[in-house]
Chains A and B, each alone.
Chain A
Amino acid sequence: MTPAGRDRLRVWSPLLAISGAAWALLAVWPGGMAMPGLCAASASWAASLGSASLASLRLALLIDPPARIAAGWALMLAAMMTPLLAAPVRHLRERSFAGRRARAITLFVAGYGAVWMAAAAALLALALLLRLVGGGPWPVLALAFALALIWQASPAKQRCLNRCHALPELPAFGWAADRAALGFGLTHGGWCVGGCWALMLVPLLAPGAHLAAMAGVALWLLAERLDRPAPARWRLRTPAKALRLVAARARKAAAIRPLLPRRVS
């Protein structure tokens, strides 16, 4: 392995492990799905606006109090977003004193996480609003898809993606270093929310299969992060590089298969 490859692996391995553990927890812990669950529960409320449905929302909040919803959201972030943080975490690790690396990364994650937790409230409000105006679950999902598609094609989305690739200079000593790491987390979090919010609405508004929807969105977000920053303009954006990388791997696997010994039946 090359020295730079070793540097990359040093950061990728723990991030993937954290993400994997979070996905596993989400799969087994019902609280992990509290927020999409709440959105789904609100569907009937929104559809009829009747007192019985209002009661069902109250019941949903009773089963999943805000703290549980927040914990579920945090777990979802850990699962979906941790792999997206490889470049900034590497930057913080490499450009901080060895003795301050953990602290710098913690502050960055705190800032980044704070922005996303705040965004959760806004996303929840938006999801409920879409429920109100959208009618049944399928029209609402179609609305969420349309919104995501428009945002995905917009120059603003490209600008957010581009800023997610920024790696600023970091003061090395004292409070200045701490402030910079926290500030980097806040800024990075802001651009990340800007880039991802529309896609995140999709699993929130899906009537079911939340985990699968989240996994799909997470893969898409990771894939589009692999593409280089590009001029901001309207265009249908596909994660071209990720698709090429996957295709190349598939081609290689196909080329190797005939060489493997055939199983005797």
Chain B
Amino acid sequence: MTYTRKNVWELGGDWADPILWYARGVAAMKAKPLSDITSWRSYGAIHGLDTRLWTQLGYLSAHDKKPAAADVKRYWKQCQHGSWYFLPWHRGYLIAFEANVRAAVVAAGGPADWALPYWNYFKAGQNALPPAFASSDWPDGKGDNPLFVTQRYGPNSDGKVFVPTDQINLGAMGDPDFTGVASGGSPGFGGVDTGFEHGGQVHGGLETQPHDQVHGLVGGGDPTNPQLPGLMSDPDTAGLDPIFWLHHANIDRLWEVWRENPPAHVDPPDANWLKGPANVGERIFSMPMPGGTPWDYTPGDMAGLPPLGYTYDDFSPAAPAVQPAARLTNLGVAPAVAAAMVRGPAMASAKNVELVGANQGALPLVGAEARTTVKLDTAVRAKVSASLAAAADTGAPDRVFLNLENVRGLSDATSVSVYVGLADGEAPADHPERRAGSLSMFGLRKASLLDEEHAGKGLTFVLEITRIIDALHLAGGLTADQLDVRIVPTRPVPQGAGITIGRVSIFRQGR
């Protein structure tokens, strides 16, 4: 049987059958104790677990018994972030979770073909939280809707949950490569080649946007405590929010959309990706299926939906089709020549990544805005200019990336928009063309702890600013010695969030 995941906003009603059965399935999983490896909280712990945070948020008490030690070791704290395994690991996680919900649905007399709906916040009029998640009442009861979560605060941390569409984008869908680098250039559509990675320093393109950003915007933070995130804002609590699974179904769908548009987009052919970390002796990807039977999988098993027995109701291009030739035309290459160039070898991934400039000193992020100046190295800037000017000859102008390096802090519930090249008196809101992008600091708290996996390195965010650099080049040449960078939080950042940006830098990626 092929299961079809459908758009939650197009099911035919706020409490259409698929969402009502989802709620009943969730209720059944929530009724199981933590010690049951297929319980709701255990499934959350497979993504991540922070004992202190869970206790503070009321999801763990001294009376809770853990599952068997072997199961905890096999399944818990497994999520892959900041890694090229991000997409395949989450695909398996979704499939197994869906199977567990379906088993509960069927046991309660529901449809045998039940499938998880997805939330496509990009579609016009569908960026609000689906109503079934927004009220504590539901068709089966008052005040105990299993899909409702109090610790879901929204972009302004006021309990109004929606995804501001100007703060999400599908730029990653245009990335020609699945994998990339952690050295300042493009991390690729799917992330950087790592081993088993419960939380890497640089997130992949789709992971950063829209994945992380939607996590942060939906979760928000507790307005009364700057260090207490909404469930969705922190990887160690995200799997506890029922909306998590609809968000991830959409991310999973976007992977398939990327693969199909254009068909030249391919997953990594490398054995280390296909066979997964277990191939080199690291942890295996494994999920408890209904009844607690283990299901082991590799990324290679996850490539392609038909063999996995499910599909989506919509694979239409999620963003306007990316036209690599359009950039060349914009830089003065004749359209026919540009079209030929993008088919040629010159457009193959550029291998050289090089620092172009950086700010001086760490930048604290407090209040409504943080400003800094990135000083450019004259010689490297000239290299970028020359590559843009020679686009007609080479067909391979540089790509340019802004890095927010070693970002550290105490709260993941922070999302920001970053602007490049604004003059002093210019208001960011008036200049969307100068917006480098928006991001949420999903995973920040844990990455900042000295005695945890990241050794306190924090996270490094990469935003492509090629479009802005092209525009500056076309508007009179890239001659500035420095570029102003402004970081504008969605809501003012409290002092208690303790966020600092170690360095703001600009990198070129080219020949």
Does A53 make an interface contact (CB < 8 A)? no
Given contacts A99-B379, A248-B279, contact A176 B455 (CB under 8 A): no
In chain B, positions 348-363 with a C-beta closer than 8 Å to chain A are 349, 351, 353-355, 357-358, 360-362
Q: What's the Cα separation between A215 and B406 when bound, in Å?
A: 35
Does B192 make an interface contact (CB < 8 A)? yes
Q: Are B450 and A95 in contact (CB under 8 A)?
A: no
Q: Nearest-CB distance from B46 to chain A (Å)?
A: 19
Chain-B contact segment, one of A16-24, A75-83, A166-174, A206-214 = A166-174
Q: What's the Cα separation between A164 and B183 when bound, in Å?
A: 19
Chain-A contact segment, one of B174-182, B223-231, B310-318 = B174-182
Does B212 make an interface contact (CB < 8 A)? no
Contacts of A5 in B (CB 8 A): 193
Instruction: Name B185's closest neighbour in chain A (CB-CB).
Output: A3
Contacts of A158 in B (CB 8 A): 451
Q: Are A163 and B455 in contact (CB under 8 A)?
A: yes
In chain B, positions 245-302 with a C-beta closer than 8 Å to chain A are 268, 270, 279-282
Contacts of A172 in B (CB 8 A): 355, 357-358, 375, 377, 503, 505
Q: What's the Cα separation between A176 and B361 when bound, in Å?
A: 10
Q: Are A246 and B184 in contact (CB under 8 A)?
A: no
Instruction: Name A94's closest neighbour in chain B (CB-CB).
Output: B183
Q: Are A96 and B455 in contact (CB under 8 A)?
A: no
Q: Are A229 and B453 in contact (CB under 8 A)?
A: yes
Q: Nearest-CB distance from A96 to chain B (Å)?
A: 7
Q: What's the Cα separation between A241 and B453 when bound, in Å?
A: 14
Does B502 make an interface contact (CB < 8 A)? yes
| Cβ 8 A contact of B455, one of A7, A99, A165, A249 | A165
In chain B, positions 317-335 with a C-beta closer than 8 Å to chain A are none
Interface secondary structure of B, over-half rule: loop
Q: What's the Cα separation between A170 and B183 when bound, in Å?
A: 13
Q: Are B380 and A228 in contact (CB under 8 A)?
A: no
Q: What's the Cα separation between A159 and B455 when bound, in Å?
A: 10
| Cβ 8 A contact of B181, one of A7, A166, A246 | A7
The interface on chain A, measured as residues whose beta carbon lies within 8 A of the other chain's beta carbons, has a size of 41
| Cβ 8 A contact of B179, one of A4, A96, A166 | A4
B interface, how many residues as a size bin? 35 or more
Given contacts A2-B270, A5-B193, contact A230 B358 (CB under 8 A): no
Q: What's the Cα separation between A163 and B457 when bound, in Å?
A: 10
Instruction: Name B458's closest neighbour in chain A (CB-CB).
Output: A169
Does B30 make an interface contact (CB < 8 A)? no
| Cβ 8 A contact of A169, one of B184, B193, B503 | B503
Q: Nearest-CB distance from A16 to chain B (Å)?
A: 19
Contacts of A248 in B (CB 8 A): 279-281
Q: Mark A230-265, 1 if CB is under 8 A from B, else 0.
A: 111000000001001111110000000000000000
Q: Are B282 and A241 in contact (CB under 8 A)?
A: yes
Q: Are A94 and B379 in contact (CB under 8 A)?
A: no
Q: What's the Cα separation between A46 and B379 when bound, in Å?
A: 62
Does A97 make an interface contact (CB < 8 A)? yes
Contacts of B180 in A (CB 8 A): 3-4
Q: Are A228 and B453 in contact (CB under 8 A)?
A: yes
Contacts of B188 in A (CB 8 A): 3
Contacts of B405 in A (CB 8 A): 95, 169
Q: Are A98 and B181 in contact (CB under 8 A)?
A: no
Which 8 A-B residue pairs are closest in the complex by CB-CB distance?
A248-B281, A169-B502, A244-B281, A165-B455, A172-B358, A94-B183, A2-B193, A169-B503
Known contacts A98-B354, A99-B377, A169-B405; can you find 9 more A-B pairs with CB under 8 A? A2-B179, A4-B180, A4-B194, A95-B503, A97-B377, A167-B455, A172-B377, A231-B451, A245-B282
